[in-house]
Amino acid sequence: MNTKLYSFALVITILSVCIPITQAQPEPSFGNWELGIDYPEDDDANSFMAHRSGVVQLSFWVDNPSLTAITISFEYEEPFEGAIGSAPTEETIEAGSNDSFTLTFNQIDVFSYNAGTIESFKITASLEKRANIDVVIPESQEKEGSVEIPEIFELSVEVADPVGPMNSGTESILRVTVNNRGNSQDRVRDVEVTDDCPLMTTNEGLDVLTSRTIQPGGSTTAELKIMASDSHPSRNCRVEVTVTSNGADGAQLSNDFTRVTVESSPIVDNDDDDANSNDNEDPVEVVTTNLPAPGILTIISGLMLALLATPRRQ
């Protein structure tokens, strides 16, 4: 009886010692290796900003603190229907190493999305081998991040060609259109008109563009009046319009130009016209004589003699 009680007490003592020790042991996680992403400012709540070219580049890592090398394969889910530019598909991480890798997404059409749009991506890492031996039980880890579409301000100006030449001393109209090719609403901050003809002037018709908000993909049109002075010579004048984006703080600009043909008006010289008219008239000769003029009787006598001298018909 005492022997049974002693044995039971010994078992209870051993269990009471082993149970706390078992509870104190940490649980193994992911086969003792880890996948991670280098988030902006080390905060996974921050998004990676896409470049206006549609490229996103980031770094991720695999930590292997074990005593054997491991082989990891990678799969990716890209954001915004982009493509994988460059990324590892399988890598071997030596024992006790922490290796970093570069992942690049490209072909993201940032102009098709509104500025500030966010979409997530995913990296999946799977354990393939330990010490160059295929694993029996598969192990994998996933990490997610996000990509944000940046604000893109891009205005484009187009100057329509004139319908034809203009004469000196007259006016003509040029239609100017500003297109918003960015992904955020914008407007013209400044507009500048220049030309290379000193006797040509323009009005301020394009100033109205600075007060109009242009939505992404939208456009607005204004008219520019050009005037050629009366003494303007015949010449092809280059008229150029430059606009700057308000959203880009004036850093983004666009320009376009057209050529306006000015034809000088003909100059009429009245003196030359009178001289030419006199030159074209036939000369008139005046003949004078000192003989006395014949009297009326002499003239009548001559006519009668002429009639008598005329032969009669048979």
Residue 281: DSSP 8-state? S
How far is residue 205 from each of residues 54, 173, 196, 222, 246, measured CA to CA in Å?
A: 37, 10, 19, 7, 19
How far is residue 275 from each of residues 88, 173, 267, 270, 278, measured CA to CA in Å?
A: 94, 41, 16, 9, 5
Give the pLDDT of residue 13: 52
Return the H-helix or E-strand segment holding 296: helix 296-309
Across-strand partners of 4? Answer: none
The pair of three-digit structure tokens given for residue 65, joined into one six-digit string? 């603190």
pLDDT band (50, 70, 90) for residue 21: very low
Q: Nearest 5 degrees, angle CA 177-CA 183-CA 188?
A: 40
Residue 5: DSSP 8-state? H
Largest CA distance in the chain: 203
How far is residue 302 from each of residues 41, 293, 308, 310, measured CA to CA in Å?
A: 135, 14, 10, 13
Measured distance CA(308)–CA(24) in Å, rounded: 171
CA dihedral over 177, 246, 216, 146, signed as positive or negative: positive
pLDDT band (50, 70, 90) for residue 281: low
pLDDT digits (tens, 9 = 90+) for 47-102: 999 999 999 999 999 999 999 999 999 999 999 999 999 999 999 999 999 999 99
Count Cβ atoms within 10 A of the Cβ of residue 152 and give its class: 0-12 exposed, 13-18 middle, 19 or more buried: buried
Give the pLDDT of residue 63: 98
pLDDT digits (tens, 9 = 90+) for 245-263: 999 999 999 999 999 999 9
User: By percentage, how much of the chain surpasses pLDDT 70?
Assistant: 75
Contact 157, 176 (CB under 8 A): yes
Beta strands in 169-264 (DSSP E): 171-180, 188-195, 200-202, 219-228, 235-245, 253-263
Say yes or no to pLDDT of 267 above 60: yes
Residue 214: DSSP 8-state? B
Return the H-helix or E-strand segment holding 20: helix 2-24
Count Cβ atoms within 10 A of the Cβ of residue 239 and give its class: 0-12 exposed, 13-18 middle, 19 or more buried: buried
- Which domains, ranges and CATH numbers included, belong to the chain? 2-148 (2.60.40.10), 155-263 (2.60.40.10)
Say yes or no to pLDDT of 221 above 90: yes
Q: How do 188-195 and 219-228 pair as beta strands?
A: unpaired
Give the pLDDT of residue 276: 53
Give the pLDDT of residue 265: 79
